[in-house]
Chain A
Amino acid sequence: MLDIKNVHKTFFAGTVNERVALQDINLTLAAGEFVTVIGSNGAGKSTILNITSGKLRPDTGTVSIDGKDVTRLADHQRARFIGRVFQDPMAGTSPEMTIEENLAIAYERGKRRGLRPGVTRKKREFFKEELRSLELGLENRLKAKVGLLSGGQRQALSLLMATFSSPKILLLDEHTAALDPQRAELVSRLTAEVVDRHQLTTLMVTHNMEQALRLGTRLIMMHDGRIILDLDQEQKLKATVPDLLHEFEKIKGVVDDRTMLQ
């Protein structure tokens, strides 16, 4: 479904700040695969997501979605295939607009937008049904401005908006990192449910190793712009947080990364 081939990315090439973000990355996701990505800061996790979403273009290499080469498409052109939830709960929704208007925008993902009314009675019923699955009572607040919601509610709404039009790829960029533990747990649970319900091919970046092991069907670990560990479902089920930490130490040889990863 997603095919990243021989991708290199260097930031600030040719300057003193030159930094290699990705080195010869090859990553293929089968349809329905849910991959969690862990790694220390600067390992290239977010860069992989940004290369996939089209926010960044790779220096070399290609990105294909469902067999179609999308390397040269801008982010909004690829958005037809890609649902995305950002780390910042404020980033995925429009605060000045109502819940139903936000959902109406998401509902039209990648379609030609015309002069039909954005919110119709039929769509509103559908939105209510979908909001009910979040179990946050938002189905009764369709006309509330999204800016009034808490961070957790907004992130749950972002997740719904990113997924309910069944994109080919779902990208999650540390989407629970900015939430308090209780809300993070809720959004984690909703993520597992929604990915399962729509059978979404998912790439999720996280700092939380426990979450990376619990969610998903495959785990990859990154360091210095390379994929250094790739666990399939079976290996992942057996792995523990100390195992992952041990892997990190083996590669890096520095213990203080442990603090960074917790």
Chain B
Amino acid sequence: MITAVELGLIYAIMALGVYLTFRILNFPDLTVDGSFTTGAGVAAISIINGMPPVLATVLAFIAGMAAGAVTGLLHTKGKINGLLAGILTMIALYSINLRIMGKANLPLLREETLITPLREAGLLGGIGAIAIFLLVALAVKVVMDWFLHTDVGLAMQATGDNEQMIRSFGVSTDNQKILGLSLSNGLVALCGAFIAQYQGFADIGMGIGLILAGLASVIIGQAIFGTRLIWIATLAVVFGSVLYRVVIQLALEAGLKQTDMKLVSAVLVVMALLLPQWKVFARVGGLGKMKKSLTGAKG
């Protein structure tokens, strides 16, 4: 269970990236599945070639930003539907990731990584590691809170909310979307770099279906903790990510296989999307009580 919390806190960085596109820009970005592996692959191959792990991790962030920028350019300048633009980049990244990594799996077990000091100090699997991962996740959250309240950040929020309005105040919505997608995928790739170092390998398939984990974290977290203010919404994303990993862990302990987890993720997202609708429905008229007991039973 402690491993689940650790994972949840690391994956929270990815979830915050997904929050930036999905909630702030109102853009469902599927690039994530590819850019996560890009981050993991870039970090792994750099570390294997002797680069200091900090530098390798920064490089992963930059590679992720480039991937996001491609999706942004396809969508804004190429006028390609947002979902399709993300899918195109994601698929193209699969080949690129293999080129970067050279083979489908890169073990890091004997390399010096960012996690090595934690492992040697015996902190992994305990409160110490959780505290450190929590600090890292909260640091990313705080930076995002700050960014979203700067002049650029406000313009980005408005771009997702009312394009006509923000254009009438002299902001290029195209540039805002490209910037937002870059930052988002930068964070996703950063998360990929951390995960590769945490689990000791990068794998070409590690990003598959990850967008669902991101969406589940954002949606579950916000369904429980609310979205009224930015700092609450981002905190909800971090908690949502932990909660998601805990649920996955519980499902595993209940006897489901690792390979069933994509289905569990999909079902979680569907539930998180449907339940709030039922609640609204339940408030209307006499059907309310019946519906409430129904949703109560299922939730």
Contacts and interface: CB of A to CB of B under 8 A. Distances in A.
Interface of A: 53, 74-77, 79-80, 82-84, 86, 90-97, 101-102, 104-106, 108-111, 113-119, 161-162
A93 B162 CA distance: 7
A77 B151 contact: no
Contacts of A93: 162, 165
Contacts of A53: 168
22 contacts: A76-B167, A76-B173, A77-B170, A77-B172, A79-B170, A83-B168, A90-B162, A94-B157, A94-B161, A97-B161, A101-B157, A102-B158, A105-B154, A105-B171, A106-B169, A108-B169, A108-B170, A109-B169, A110-B169, A113-B151, A115-B151, A118-B154
Interface in B146-196: 147, 149-155, 157-158, 161-162, 164-173
A77 B171 CA distance: 8
Interface bracket on B: 20 to 34
Nearest to B153: A118
Interface of B: 147, 149-155, 157-158, 161-162, 164-173
Contacts of B158: 94, 97, 102, 105
From B158, B162, B165, name the one whose CB has the most chain A CB atoms within 10 angstroms.
Answer: B165
Given A82-B168, A118-B149, A119-B149, 14 more contacts: A77-B172, A83-B168, A91-B165, A92-B165, A94-B165, A105-B158, A108-B170, A109-B169, A110-B170, A114-B150, A115-B151, A116-B150, A117-B149, A117-B150
Contacts, number: 90
A85 B158 CA distance: 16
Nearest to B148: A118
B169 A104 contact: no
Contact of A97 (B147, B150, B152, B154): B154
Given A96-B157, A105-B154, A113 B165 contact: no
